[in-house]
Amino acid sequence: MYQFMNQSMTWLDAQRYCRARFTDLAVVMTMNDVRRLVTTVDPGYNGSVWIGLRAVGVGRWVWSMGDSTISQDSMWNPGEPSGDGECVRSFNGSWYDESCSTVLPFVCFNDSTGFVINNTAMTWRDAQSYCRQQHTDLASISSPEQQNLLSNESSLWIGLFLDSWVWSNQWSYFFRYWEADQPSLSLVSSNCAGMSATDSRKWAQYSCDLKQPFICYGDDKLIKKQIVRVKLSCNGKCTLNDPSLQTTILNEIIKKLKSMGLESDRKLSWRKEQDGDVFHQERKSRASSNTVCNSVTGRNEPLLNVPPQGAYPETPQTDNKQWEPLMQQSQPSG
């Protein structure tokens, strides 16, 4: 879950903030993540924002699809990579590093149809954009068999490129969504990445000292969640796992808690256990009487999630005692 923070910080401070309150600065692994990231930003804010990507000193060859490092059976031509570019073309079944601004035909990978060769010459980045829009991505080549499919082709861009960036959480994941001219070797002191202010919202590099809003991911630790366990009985006259009955009971509890002072922005829900049920028959050893038809079992498996924005009153005060014996309070988190 992405969280937009509309306050300006340096990249390092933003990272500290995200780690303290959420999990980390935003990590992006797929085009779907890109779309979610873009919609996370407040509509009223048009500037650039930090994401959790920063430069490291060393480059390594990785695939555009992001899911793997270079194959063990790498197919470099002897003498390659020769250091004359950060993108890779396949020619006669071997790989050559090449300037990314060279225009070449390219090979996309399509989830349904496999390799798709496109004979329109483009820069590597434009070819990558094209493949992501029309197919899945620029092709990864992970076996000699796949390379053989290209052995009779003239020069084609493949998905391999030299990457020297790393995610804040150290995940080895190489999905990138750079602006056409980024990352740029001429911007050597711009070692942190953000989502740019352009319409495309692709990524650009900035000085890490720049102060700008940022996007974190993870659950908000400031939202306190309280879990209470309830024991209910209807003497065999109902099925407590009937969803409509659960809704009715929950609404009654909400009504009661509100009358006791629960604020309206707090949310209550039933917590399902792994089997999908909310209520479980009390175990025989714990059953207090054979009149209990449905009740809660399992230590630390309470059934009500109460994630309020602030602390819920420590001890619910009520002049109506009928709910009180049914609830147990757990320690609020955070």
66 within 8 A of 176, measured Cβ to Cβ:
yes
Which single residue brings its beta carbon nearest to Ca ion?
82
How many positions of this chain bind Ca ion (CB under 5 A)? 4
Residue 324 binds Ca ion, judged by CB under 5 A: no
Helix (H) or strand (E) holding 5: strand 2-9
Minimal distance in Å, beta carbon 86 to Ca ion?
A: 10
Question: Which two structure tokens, joined as six digits, stand for 15?
Answer: 């990272």
Q: Which residue from 6, 7, 39, 82 is in contact with Ca ion, where contact means CB under 5 A? A: 82
Q: Which is nearer to Ca ion, 60 or 211 (CB)?
A: 60
CB of 32 to Ca ion, least distance (A): 34
Q: Which residue has the tokens 């070797």?
A: 185
Please tell me the distance from the alpha carbon of residue 124 to that of residue 45, in angstroms, as a whole number.
Answer: 31
Which of these ranges, 16-24, 27-35, 37-45, 84-92, lies near Ca ion under the rule CB under 5 A? Answer: 84-92
Name which of 87 and 306 has its Cβ closer to Ca ion: 87
Binds Ca ion (CB under 5 A): choice among 38, 42, 47, 84? 84
Peptide bond into 144 cis (omega under 30): no
Q: By C-alpha distance, which of 247, 289, 250, 243 is closest to 266?
A: 250
Choices 32-40, 52-60, 79-87, 164-172; region in contact with Ca ion by CB under 5 A: 79-87
Residues 85-104 that bind Ca ion (CB under 5 A): 96-97
Binding to Ca ion, residues 262-281 (CB under 5 A): none
Q: Which is nearer to Ca ion, 22 or 96 (CB)?
A: 96
Nearest distance, CB of residue 84 and Ca ion, angstroms: 4
* Shortest CB 82 distance to Ca ion, Å: 4
Query: Which residue lies nearer to Ca ion by CB, 95 or 270?
Result: 95
Is 317 exposed, middle or buried, given 0-12, 13-18 or 19+ CB atoms closer than 10 A?
exposed
Residues 6+ apart with CB under 8 A from 216: 2, 3, 5, 14, 17, 18, 21, 22, 23, 24, 25, 26
CA-nearest of 148, 142, 164, 97 to 124 is 97
Cα–Cα separations (whole angstroms), residue 136 to 35, 102, 110, 142, 273: 15, 22, 5, 16, 37
Smallest gap from Cβ 61 to Ca ion, in A, equals 12
Please, which residue, 39 or 82, has the CB nearer to Ca ion? 82
Give the torsion sign (CA, 254, 257, 258, 263). negative
Closest CA to 21 of 213, 222, 212: 222
Count of alpha carbons within 13 angstroms of residue 33, beta-carbon side: 17
Q: For residues 78 and 276, which CB has a smaller minimum distance to Ca ion in the complex?
A: 78
Asked if residue 157 binds Ca ion (CB under 5 A), the reply is: no
Minimum distance of Ca ion from residue 180's CB (angstroms)? 22
Nearer to Ca ion, 77 or 329 (CB): 77
Nearest to Ca ion of 79, 243 (CB atom): 79
| List of residues contacting Ca ion (CB under 5 A) | 82, 84, 96-97
